[in-house]
Structure 1
Amino acid sequence: MEDRTQSSLIALRRILRATELNARTVARATGLTTPQLIVLEIVASSPRAQPKDIAAKAGVGQATATSLVDKLEARGLVERTRGEHDRRLVWVTATEEGRRVLESAPDPLQHVFSQQFSKLPDWEQAMIVAALEKIGAILNAGAIDASPLLDVGPVDRR
């Protein structure tokens, strides 16, 4: 039984380490955190986006999305504009510099995971989700707020 415990802990450590290494690779290549890169990808994927839509697509709260957009805007990677007819609306667009950063950026780990995971049969996906949820429960992590971004540390580092 100890062998299974040890094997499980090694597998968890490998997952954590892969996440950490990918976050460092993304940061070295782009100067961005993984959540910032994901938000930049979301913004660049359409002509313009609203903060609430960015938050929904990134799986984070609107305040977190706004903070991430603030950081991207400060770096000149996105810009905000007000709606012409309704000044309450805010639109976020990627700048040319933001698009250049995306072109040179490595794939965030969640893209690699999503591509591989989606190729699995439904029963295997369900089994993996159940096992991961059980691991979370074993680690008393059920109440921890988490977004679907594979990154180390908080999504919005201040």
Structure 2
Amino acid sequence: MDVRSKRVARETGLTIPQIVVLNAVRDFEAATTAEISRVANISPPTTVTILEKLELRGLITRRRSTVDRRIVHTELTETGKGVLAEAPPLIHKRFFSGMAAMSTEDQASIIRAFHTVADLLEPDEPGGGTGNGPTEAGLSA
């Protein structure tokens, strides 16, 4: 994953989370920060930080709602659309075709396993886990 992140950063000048956020912005018309955060599966404060960086680079525009000033709408700029069009896919077509070729039961099993792993990676307490890494669970690197 680290090699992929470095390659994506080298090719686009963006981090994978920034590309995920740009994709989320693209998927909504005048996306709110809450929508982007939910779709990108990134915390709202981190989403705001990413949006600020993307705005500084001219990839998005943000404007406050005229109805509720607490709501900020985000849209891709033409530059942002171009960068996103040139960005490598984060998930390759082979993954989608492989999943499509699987039975519904196998797909469900893989999705359950992904959810289990994601749950295991969540910290036990706010602010992080014990910091012992993979060896904590008896796993070796």
Per the normalisation by structure 2, the TM-score is: 0.72
**Candidates 85, 110, 120, aligned match of 1:142:** 120
Q: Does the alignment pair 1:106 with 2:88? A: yes
Q: Distance in 2 between matches of 1:99 and 1:25?
A: 20
Q: What letter is aligned with 2:90?
A: P
Question: What's the TM-score, normalizing by structure 1?
Answer: 0.65
Identity percentage of aligned residues: 34
- The structural deviation recorded for 1:93 is 0.9
Are 1:44 and 2:26 an aligned pair?
yes
User: How far apart in 2 are the matches of 1:113 and 1:51?
Assistant: 31
In structure 1, which of residues 26, 29, 41 is the aligned counterpart of residue 8 of structure 2? 26
Other-structure match for 1:115? 96
CA pair 23-112 structure 1, distance change in 2 beyond 3 A? farther
Conserved 8 A contact 1:117-1:125 = no
Q: 1:52 to 1:28 in 2, by over 3 A?
A: same
Stretches of structure 1 that go unaligned for 5 or more consecutive residues are 1-18, 146-158
Residue number in structure 2 paired with 1:89: 71
Structure 1 residue 114: Cα displacement:
5.9
Q: Which runs of 5+ in 2 are unaligned?
A: 124-141
Cα distance between partner residues in 2 of 1:132 and 1:48: 31
The answer for the alignment partner of 1:8 in structure 2 is none
- The answer to which of 123-132 and 32-41 deviates more is 123-132
RMSD of aligned alpha carbons: 2.6
Task: Specify the code of the residue in structure 2 equivalent to 1:80.
Answer: R
- Shift in alpha-carbon separation, 1:112–1:35, aligned structure 2, 3 A: farther
SS in 1 for 2:120: coil
Aligned to 2:17: 35
Cα separation, partners in 2 of 1:62 and 1:116, compared to 1, 3 Å: farther
Greater relative contact order (CA < 8 Å, ≥ 6 in sequence)? 1
Instruction: Please give the secondary structure, in 2, of the residue aligned with 1:66.
Output: helix
Code of the residue aligned with 2:7 in structure 1: it is T
For the residues of structure 1 that align with 2:113 and 2:70, how far apart are their CA atoms? Answer: 44
With over 3 angstroms needed to count, the CA separation of the structure-2 counterparts of 1:142 and 1:64, relative to structure 1, is same
